[in-house]
Structure 1
Amino acid sequence: MEMKVERKGSIEEEKKEKVDLSGMSLDTLPNLSTNVLLITELDISNNNLESIPESLTARLLNVEKLDVHSNQLKSLPNSIGCLSKLKVLNVSGNLIESLPKSIENCRALEELNVNFNKLTRLPDTIGFELTHLQKLSVNSNKLAYLPYSISHMTTLRILDARLNCLRVLPDGLENLINLQILNVSQNFQYLNTLPYSIGLLISLIELDISYNKITILPDSIGCLKNLRKLSVEGNPLVCPSMEVVGQGLDAIKEYLSERMKGNEPGTKRRSWIGKLVRYRTFNGQTVNGAHDQDGFLLSDYRSIDGLASPRFMGLFSPRRLFSPKSYFAR
């Protein structure tokens, strides 16, 4: 067995090391021949590991990237919370049913990949602590809901929650002001509605809601000025009709905008605004006091206990990562 150790010997990097033990058919981890405190990247993916020693994780105090994908892990060690410098964690392709609450102590985390596991829930308070997270991938699990605390992740740019059992999307969705890609497709018979607040995801570029049970798209989607890709196939849509859907994204947005303005027969003018006001998302003041204007002031934008604020900005792209080395090369 050959352990690959890459030393970076510059003075500035102080002999930081990347240890690669991927694809070695390991059942247990060997004793590392290097000083554990020097390791900044550890790749133990594509093995047969059923557990990671608590004692090892507790000593990886300088690790920034940890890849354990494609093993037989049923849980993560509680000592994962000791990794205060961890930025990228990939645990996809395992048998994990729940994440330890201690993962909330990894406050530097920017990318979390838990795809292809057996998760039934995420820690309820995970979003209150992981406020620097930019990419959250939890696809191909058994999640029935996403916790409300996710709305605190105001730096989040990608949320991939397809192939779960989601029934609703979390309250406070509108606070994800940096979200660019939202994928909640293939929740099949479970997800049958979208919140009106989805129209306030001002940075949204891609929205995939395909293969659910959605019959009506919220009119507010017509307000998503940056939206470039909308996937709705596989839903029993009645509004907009399949005729409108067949004309493409611009036609869908125009149709929903007209409904929102009350120009579509049988629609109630700005009914979605009233709902958002009731959610206290904003106060519903019109620009220059004119109720027929298109703009609404966001002066009462709802901050979340002072933590979520439009001042926070932050970046990445979802995919299934099962190759042994390509993931860390990104």
Structure 2
Amino acid sequence: MMHERQQMSMDVKKRSERNRIPIQEERLEIVDLSGMSLDTLPNPSLNLGTICKLDLSNNNLQSIPESLTARLLNLVALDVHSNQLQSLPNSIGCLSKLKFLNVSGNLLQSLPKTIENCRSLEELNGNFNKLSRLPDSIGFELVNLKKISVNSNKLMFLPHSTSHLTNLRVLDARLNCLSSLPEDLENLINLQVLNVSQNFQYLSTLPYSIGLLISLIELDVSYNKITTLPDSIGCLKKLQKLCVEGNPLVSPPIEVVEQGLHSVKEYMSEKMNGAHKNLPKKKSWIGKLVKYGTFNGANVPRDDREGFIMPNYRSIDGLTSPRYMGMFSPRRLFSPKTYFTR
């Protein structure tokens, strides 16, 4: 057993010596311990503060020591995918330089709240776990995130703070249990790929703001329970790929969908414009004045017409004089039997 540990330490040393990276007079190390069937981590033979990339993937690790993570002060990339991890150490919050984190293919039910301190993080891969939620303030703290992949989990919703990730390019949340998406998605001004497919019977509606994602190129909402796409999708000028199959769509109808993306965008755009045209016109306050006969002249018909004729024109200056201002009180204006008097 002792011989195996010594041999393992020698292997680690050899791998790290082959992967030294000179950066500003200090030598940072890439340590690759992947695919070594490790149940526990060996005692490192080098200074943890010199490691910039640590690959522990494809092992049998059930935990990562808190003390180990806390000393990886120059770590930029951490890959622990395909292990048996049920949790991540809270000390992961000490990794202020961490940009890439891959924890996919484990048994994680949640991410530690301290991950919000990894403010340099650009890519988070949490695919194929048992995640039921993400940290509530993830969008307020991890402002540099460009890619979030959390597919094949048990997420029922995305935190509302997700809409604050203005640098986000890719959001992959397929194969979850999502029942809704955050309402104010329009803040994701750099989002290019959104995949919320295969949430099956859970996801039945999409927010109107999904059509305000000005940079969106790919949208996949296939295999959900969506009956109506938001009309705003007609506004997605950069959209090049739209996947909607596997939904009980009513709007747009299937014959429009079969004609391709251009037809769908055109249909939704026309529907949106038509809806605006059919909105009931708001009656102006002038109409009320006419209706109640508050303008001078008893021969003005008392109906809902918007136009009116003032028999005696007076300049605006005259109407705003102290003598006339009292005539515009609500009691006088909307009294059925009161008329302007000279």
TM-score (norm 2): 0.76
Tell me whether 1:227 sits opposite 2:239 in the alignment. yes
Note if contact 2:138-2:162 (Cα within 8 Å) is conserved in structure 1. yes
Q: Deviations over 1:13-72 (max 9, x none)?
A: 621100000000000000111111000000000000000000000000100000000000
- Quote how far apart the aligned CAs of 1:270 are: 8.2
Q: Which residue of 2 aligns with 1:213?
A: 225
Q: Deviations over 1:268-325 (max 9, x none)?
A: 5487xxxxxxxxxxxxxxxxxxxxxxxxxxxxxxxxxxxxxxxxxxxxxxxxxxxxxx
Tell me whether 1:147 sits opposite 2:148 in the alignment. no
Q: Which residue of 2 aligns with 1:318?
A: none
Q: Deviations over 1:53-102 (max 9, x none)?
A: 00000000100000000000000000000000000000000000010000
Tell me whether 1:202 sits opposite 2:199 in the alignment. no
Q: Which residue of 2 aligns with 1:92?
A: 104
Tell me whether 1:106 sits opposite 2:123 in the alignment. no
- Name the aligned partner's letter for residue 199 of structure 1: G
Segments of 4+ moved more than 4 angstroms: none
Tell me whether 1:245 sits opposite 2:240 in the alignment. no
Q: Are residues 270 and 218 of structure 1, via their aligned partners in 2, closer, same or farther at CA, if it must alter by over 3 Å?
A: farther
Note if contact 2:35-2:57 (Cα within 8 Å) is conserved in structure 1. yes
Q: Deviations over 1:202-228 (max 9, x none)?
A: 000000000000000111000000000
Tell me whether 1:32 sits opposite 2:44 in the alignment. yes
- Name the aligned partner's letter for residue 46 of structure 1: N
Tell me whether 1:164 sits opposite 2:176 in the alignment. yes
1-structure distance, mates of 2:111, 2:258: 41
- Quote how far apart the aligned CAs of 1:11 are: 5.7
1-structure distance, mates of 2:23, 2:80: 29
Q: Secondary structure at the match of 2:124?
A: strand
Note if contact 1:204-1:227 (Cα within 8 Å) is conserved in structure 2. yes
Note if contact 1:99-1:123 (Cα within 8 Å) is conserved in structure 2. yes
Q: Which residue of 2 aligns with 1:59?
A: 71
2-structure distance, mates of 1:166, 1:13: 49
Q: Which residue of 1 aligns with 2:86?
A: 74
1-structure distance, mates of 2:111, 2:119: 15
- Quote how far apart the aligned CAs of 1:171 are: 2.3
Note if contact 1:104-1:126 (Cα within 8 Å) is conserved in structure 2. yes
**Matched residues, number:** 267
- Quote how far apart the aligned CAs of 1:126 are: 1.0
2-structure distance, mates of 1:122, 1:11: 34
Greater share of helix residues, 1 or 2?
Answer: 2
Q: Are residues 253 and 47 of structure 1, via their aligned partners in 2, closer, same or farther at CA, if it must alter by over 3 Å?
A: same
TM-score (norm 1): 0.79
Note if contact 1:57-1:79 (Cα within 8 Å) is conserved in structure 2. yes
- Name the aligned partner's letter for residue 83 of structure 2: N
Q: Which residue of 2 aligns with 1:261?
A: 273
Q: Deviations over 1:173-220 (max 9, x none)?
A: 110000000000000000000011111100000000000000001110
Q: Secondary structure at the match of 2:67?
A: helix
1-structure distance, mates of 2:50, 2:163: 35
Structure 2: gaps of 5 or more residues: 1-7, 280-342
Structure 1: gaps of 5 or more residues: 272-330
Q: Which residue of 1 aligns with 2:312?
A: none
Percent of aligned pairs sharing the same letter: 73
Q: Which residue of 1 aligns with 2:142?
A: 130
Q: Secondary structure at the match of 2:272?
A: helix
1-structure distance, mates of 2:125, 2:69: 18
Q: Which has the larger radius of gyration?
A: 2
Note if contact 2:101-2:125 (Cα within 8 Å) is conserved in structure 1. yes
1-structure distance, mates of 2:127, 2:188: 21
Q: Secondary structure at the match of 2:251?
A: coil
2-structure distance, mates of 1:34, 1:270: 72
Q: Which residue of 1 aligns with 2:195?
A: 183
Q: Which residue of 1 aligns with 2:55?
A: 43
- Name the aligned partner's letter for residue 163 of structure 1: L
Q: Are residues 11 and 52 of structure 1, via their aligned partners in 2, closer, same or farther at CA, if it must alter by over 3 Å?
A: closer
Note if contact 1:211-1:232 (Cα within 8 Å) is conserved in structure 2. yes
Q: Secondary structure at the match of 2:194?
A: strand
- Name the aligned partner's letter for residue 253 of structure 1: K
2-structure distance, mates of 1:86, 1:201: 28
2-structure distance, mates of 1:54, 1:270: 62
Q: Secondary structure at the match of 1:10?
A: strand
Note if contact 1:260-1:270 (Cα within 8 Å) is conserved in structure 2. no
Note if contact 1:17-1:39 (Cα within 8 Å) is conserved in structure 2. yes
- Name the aligned partner's letter for residue 221 of structure 1: I
